[in-house]
Amino acid sequence: MNQLSTLLQDFEPISLKEMDSVKLQDRIDTKFMFKDSVIPELFRRMSEHYKVLEIEGQRYNHYETLYFDTEKFNLYIRHHNGKANRFKFRSRRYVESNLNFFEVKFKNNKGRTIKDRIKRPEIVKLIADKSKDLVKSISNVDPASLEAKLWVNYVRITFVSKTSQERLTVDTMLTFKNDIQEHVYSGLVIAEVKRASARDKSHFVELMKSFGIAQKSISKYCLGVITLHPELKKNIFKPTLLYLNKLLKAS
């Protein structure tokens, strides 16, 4: 983590309040997966084009996220089967700032991600009260059918483009756990570019091309389900899993 702090010192900081104009709750997402050995050179080439989120002097932040699904993982199965107009329900804690939100993410049939969230006094482990009302108001999912399934925890660095409406998240130290087991993807980085339109130019996307890193999309929730529940079907994700296994085995 000390090395990470050093690498981020060359970036101009941006505060949470300053980021309000780039919330992008309705957006297009582009994802990449690569090894953390790329980070030093990548950040060096990014620093001229991006600002980094800084909270109380810290430029990386720990996230704790609890995902909900039905008893038989119907939301995961719907994602696996390629169904459009699908939902994810999660509770998230921003550790350093001690902020807690319950969130609903909706992926529509045009590939756009729309996020709604409400602030909560603590991380939600049972959907009730205002969280229940949010689920009912914007989805066709019965809140009573949802139960806590999977923790997805990681360290996130958030960047904002200096020249366009773009946010970029870089996640490391990815950890999945439930009541029975835990798995850490050591050395893996998942980066996600968030833009109003895929037509908007992204310096990060161009950097990925220059590094020979192709776009690879898998939700962290789905990856966690596959990792901790190998008995569930995963055929559609096999090409990405092969890529991931090869990536992490490479020297």
**What's the rounded mean pLDDT across residues 215-221?**
89
Mean pLDDT (the chain) is: 91
**Residue 181, by phi and psi: left (phi above 0), alpha (psi -120 to 50) or beta?**
beta
List 144's β-bridge partners, or say none.
none
Q: Which pLDDT does position 27 carry in this prediction?
A: 63
Give residue 249's pLDDT: 86
> Is the separation of the CB atoms in 80 and 112 below 8 Å?
no
Position 122 pLDDT exceeds 90: yes
Side-chain half-sphere of 133: how many Cα atoms within 13 Å? Answer: 3
Task: Please state, in angstroms and rounded to a whole number, the distance separating the CA atoms of residues 60 and 37.
Answer: 17
Q: pTM for the whole thing? A: 0.88
Please indicate whether residue 113 or residue 193 has the higher confidence score (pLDDT): 193
Q: Is 100's pLDDT higher than 60?
A: yes
pLDDT at position 214: 92
Q: Is 25 exposed, middle or buried (0-12, 13-18, 19+ CB in 10 A)?
A: exposed
Task: Find the mean pLDDT for residues 189-198.
Answer: 87
| CB contact at 8 A, 104 and 138 | yes
Q: What is the CATH number of the domain that holds 14?
A: 2.40.320.10
Sheet strands (E) in the chain:
12-14, 26-35, 50-53, 61-69, 86-94, 99-107, 113-120, 147-161, 166-177, 182-185, 188-195
pLDDT at 25: 55
How wide is the angle at C-alpha 168 spanned by C-alphas 59 and 201, nearest 5°? 140
Q: How many domains does the chain have?
A: 1
Spatial separation of the C-alpha atoms in residues 243 and 49, rounded to whole Å = 29
Once rounded to an integer, what is the mean pLDDT over residues 148-165? 94
Q: Measured between alpha carbons, how far is 168 from 149 in angstroms, rounded to an integer? A: 27
DSSP state of 84: S
Q: Name every residue whose Cβ is closer than 8 Å to that of residue 225 and which is 6 or more positions away in sequence.
A: 69, 73, 76, 149, 150, 232
pLDDT per residue as tens digits for the range 20-42: 766 655 668 899 999 999 999 99
Helix, strand, coil % over all residues of the chain, rounded to 5: 30, 35, 30
121-139 per-residue burial string, b: 16 or more CB within 10 A, e: under 16: eeebeebeeebbebbeeeb
User: Which of residues 48 and 109 earns the better pLDDT score?
Assistant: 48
Q: How confident is the model at residue 1 (pLDDT cuts 50, 70, 90)?
A: low
User: Which residue type sits at 174?
Assistant: L
Give yes or no for residue 217 having a pLDDT over 90: no
pLDDT of residue 82: 86
pLDDT tens figures, 167-176: 999 999 999 9
3-class SS of residue 222: helix
Structural domain including 106 reads 2-249
pLDDT confidence of residue 75: 96
